[in-house]
Structure 1
Amino acid sequence: MRARSYHHGNLRAALLARAEETVRERGVQALSLRELARETGVSHGAPRRHFGDRQALLDALAEDGFVRLGQALDGAVRDAEPDCTARLQALAGAYVRFATRHAALLELMYTGKHREGAESVHAAAEQAFAVSLGVISEAQGSGELVPGDPESLAQVALATLHGLAAMANSGMLDVEELETVVPDAVERLLSGLRRR
């Protein structure tokens, strides 16, 4: 007996949602197309119509994660005040929130991004990180930040945020501490990047 009935058009989304739950609850190693079909309540061959094999499912999950991360970053920046500090603080908060709420997915995202043949994952990652690159480039253009390679500056900022999220995900920092640590980290980064 099937747990749910899926109509055309939403099976792929349902499979991705269930796959993300599996990764979060039991890790990537527990993910299989057959088990995913059983847990989703569809025939064991149904997932193969959307994902040719397990690796295609993992790539789709990583790509979806980067798309969602990009949307979170973009939304935070759009909702922030227009100055550089507010936009970077909003971006930082959005990144760390996503990274701590979706720790297992984030690990998969970064693993899949570097796999040969994962062009769609790489493209989605580039799109997500274009948000931070845009904030830095605009701040340089307006004279708020020092000149220099905006991609390099964005990488340093994201590496800092990713490191803080990794520390929280591994238990080295309490998630609650991030509410003060992240804004402080952004201020410290900005103190070195602001025009004097």
Structure 2
Amino acid sequence: MTTQRAYHHGDLRRAVLTAALDVIRTDGPAALSLRDLARRAGVSHAAPAHHFKDRAGLLTAVAAEGFDLLAAALTEAADLRDAGVRYVRFAMDHPAHFQVMFQPDLHHPDDPGLLAARTRAGDRLREAVAGAVDTDDPRLAGVAAWSLAHGFATLLLTHNLTGPVGDRAPEDVFRSLAGMLFTAD
């Protein structure tokens, strides 16, 4: 009697996503290969395609998960400055998600799950702006707040703020920057 390797993996989707996040974190999204991820998960090379169809489908799942995590982080924000701090902390805690989320050429930007997750995160940011900024154009104020948080997080992750941040906690530096541009409630 010959034994065959069991095909069922338990939670293959999660295993492939976790392996993908590891690859993205260390080598960037360009290094992703479904075949390599299948090898890492210990399954056939075709198995990940059952969950993600293709590489863009996998990156769509990474982006959607990232937007959901970001929405959850922003939900607890006390005010606009805290929302910015939480945005920066999210980027630091989830750099692989952050790399993929804002590169629509990597994923399926019209995916319903991704669109819903992106809307949830955007709604949280808009709520924080609405509660803190008195303006005739809240949408533009939202762009300003997002630009500050996203730009700071991007510069931080690409090691372009090593000198200016120094030994200070990035969250404290961001709070100071936000205080220069946005007044607290």
TM norm structure 2: 0.82
> Per-residue CA shift, 1:99-126, capped at 9, x if unaligned?
1233343121100279665333333222
- The residue number in structure 1 matching 2:128 is 135
Tell me the CA shift for residue 146 of structure 1: 1.6
Is contact 2:129-2:138 (8 Å) kept? yes
Tell me the CA shift for residue 167 of structure 1: 1.6
Q: How has the CA–CA distance of structure 1 residues 113 and 59 changed in structure 2, closer, same or farther, with 3 Å as cutoff?
A: same
Tell me the CA shift for residue 133 of structure 1: 0.3
- The residue number in structure 1 matching 2:55 is 54
**Structure with bigger RCO (C-alpha 8 Å, 6+ apart):** 2
- The residue number in structure 2 matching 1:34 is 35
Q: Does 1:6 align with 2:9?
A: yes
- The residue number in structure 2 matching 1:125 is 118
- The residue number in structure 2 matching 1:22 is 23
State the distance in 2 between where 1:153 and 1:52 align: 38
- The residue number in structure 2 matching 1:83 is none
Count residues in correspondence.
Answer: 175
Is contact 2:34-2:54 (8 Å) kept? yes
Q: How has the CA–CA distance of structure 1 residues 125 and 108 changed in structure 2, closer, same or farther, with 3 Å as cutoff?
A: same
What are the ranges of 5 or more consecutive residues in structure 2 without an aligned counterpart?
none
Tell me the CA shift for residue 147 of structure 1: 3.1
Q: Which amino acid aligns with 1:6?
A: H
Q: How has the CA–CA distance of structure 1 residues 40 and 23 changed in structure 2, closer, same or farther, with 3 Å as cutoff?
A: same
Is contact 1:112-1:118 (8 Å) kept? no
- The residue number in structure 2 matching 1:94 is 86
| RMSD (Å) for aligned C-alpha atoms | 2.5
Specify the SS of the correspondent of 1:147.
coil
State the distance in 2 between where 1:92 and 1:153 align: 13
Higher helix fraction: Structure 1 or Structure 2? 1
TM norm structure 1: 0.78
